[in-house]
Amino acid sequence: MSESTSGQHEIKLASRINPNIAPVESLVRLPGLGISKAGAIVAYRKSFNRANGKRAAFECGDDLQKISGIGPKTVQQMSDWIEFE
């Protein structure tokens, strides 16, 4: 990530990130996510998948709010960089 003139981080990704399959190393590149929240997404996803089989843990951005510390503002920040296919 590089810093823009406004002081906000600019994200440079070749493609969108799917929280249902992305590793921590990819998730931390999303705006508003650090290692702790990225790890929490992966842990939640693994737990969810064990309990629910093949159903996706996250079907939309709002589903990420199930993770402690991720609210509407964080979801908004990363909305241009995530996908749920």
Question: pLDDT for 32-76, tens place per residue?
Answer: 999 999 999 999 999 999 999 888 999 999 999 999 999 999 999
Domain ranges of the chain: 2-81
Q: Give the Cα separation of 77 and 2 in Å (integer).
A: 16
Of 2-11, 28-37, 45-54, 76-85, the poorest mean pLDDT is in 2-11
Q: Which class does domain 2-81 fall in?
A: mainly alpha
What band does 21 get if pLDDT is binned at 50, 70 and 90? very high
State the number of CA atoms in the 13 A half-sphere of 68 facing the CB. Answer: 4
pLDDT score, position 3: 39
Q: Give the Cα separation of 61 and 74 in Å (integer).
A: 10
Global pTM exceeds 0.85: no
pLDDT score, position 13: 62
| Sign, CA torsion 71/73/49/26 | negative
